[in-house]
Structure 1
Amino acid sequence: MKLFFGLLFCSLLLLGCTQTQPIPSTTPTAVPTIDYAEKYPELAERIRAYNASFESKRPDYLPPIVFEKLPVFPKDFYPTRVLVQFGKITDLNSIAPSYWKQPEFYPQFEEQGVPLYQKPPEGRRGVFGYGSYPSESIVLLPKNGEAEVAFFIYTSWMVQTYQGLGLSSGFPETASLKSSDFPDGQRLVNQDPNVTSNYFDVEVTPDNVLLEPSFPVFQKNWVNKVTVKIKGKNVPPGRYVIGVFGGGPTKENSNKWFNEYKTAYTENSPLTPFGNGLPVYSLFIDVQP
């Protein structure tokens, strides 16, 4: 699914008169003041509620220091989050970091993350763990078309280490949509990876990421945006899937990050679901006749 947005700019031409204008008087004029809130209390209350409905504020469920390294919480955060969750905003490249760097942008933070932060489990230290959001997308593509999509990869709640990851693309033999459908309601894709790989050029950026800790304070780069660019090469009509897989970073980055963070550094582990060969993200492609 792709949603393209345009900004419609309206220009306003201000016309002025060429004749000489009188200089305004500087003599102060007494203007009676009216306490409209007192005169129209019901209307004033409605206006206050109206203004409040357009301003998002983070609840006081955790100390402000937990979020102090993140961007300022956007005033329209919650309406924007709802539009993303329900697929009304699908161009995630259009969303500013001030939104996607907030933990509330990601599912289950309020339900699962906040209680953990309020009462951290005793004797537990989060060493590794990460997730992706969204985990899948659908693109309708012409046979020689191009597309660019984005997803976010983030540190799991309560993790205290710096995690080095490498990202690469691949073509799974089979995959199924989990949270959406193709236009005809189908979800399953079966393909020959050796054949499908000839139909697409794929670029994943960045291909190495360093996920910073999310506990006890969310670090600036606890979440990273990843873009996937694809270009079709005379693709036959059908359904295809491209996976983004997690692995270890390059040797150069591995040495660099290890030397910088020492015992606070870890790398992609085979004990995580993504380390076991499952894709971090799946891009499903529908090529029409």
Structure 2
Amino acid sequence: MLRGEEAVTGAESYYGRPVLKPPVWKVPDVPLYLYLGGVAGASSTMAVLAEATGRARLARAGRLAAAAGATASVGALVHDLGRPARFLNMLRVLKPTSPLSVGSWILAPFSALSGAAAASELTGVLPGAGRAAATAAGLIAPAMTTYTAVLLADTAVPGWHEAYRELPFVFAGSAVSSAGACGMLAAPEESGPARRMAIAGAVLELAAARRMHRRAGLVGEVYRQGRAGAVLRTARTLTCIGLGAAALSGRSGLARTAAGLCLNAAAAATRYGIFEAGRASARDPRYTVLPQRAS
């Protein structure tokens, strides 16, 4: 048996085992699920606002991006679960105290509504019903954009739990910037509002991530070290490049393309980096034991 000090400061705990069992979620399934769900939710909001202000092309782009993102997000989740029946089983009961249960009940209707809106958009069939579905999806969209952050923060994984205050803002900013970037790419003639979305989202993401790293204390090390640290540094660089390109994109198609690609790559990298940071924190007992002793 290891002595107490060795158990806390070493790479392993008593009996050579970590205090927590690291998450068994797969890569790239879960990082893609986190990224695509965020893009889908923010794109749905963009579509509703574009429709309300008479920007038909931007509304179309938002509806299609929301449907594609939600469908692919469900696909990534089901692939991680192994069998579609496991996802359906999560819908048998709604447990308001369970973020996983609530998240399933957010994802399922949002995917159905956004899919119906996109189908109507592409076929021209039942346009009124399609607009109603898009509006209903837009009402769920804010929860769709951020519920995955709550789902991660509600676990015992130190890297995620210690960031519970800031993580929803990081995810929201990342989602808004990537959705705005999609709008810039898909509807260049009406890209003004999408460009402002991309800029606002990128600024929110950078500010929230900076605050998260500062407040995380000892556990914040996992966001600066190893693979997670390298990925998150790359994500910040891409976000800054995309932010600058978006600011210049009003006069340059090349800048608009660069902003769209960089901000979406940054959003995906941010999700993956946060996912890896959480797994790293679960493997090292210091991040579980020392914050509890200090509290």
- What TM-score does the superposition give when structure 1 sets the normalisation length? 0.27
Say which structure is richer in strand.
1
Say which structure is richer in helix.
2
- What TM-score does the superposition give when structure 2 sets the normalisation length? 0.27
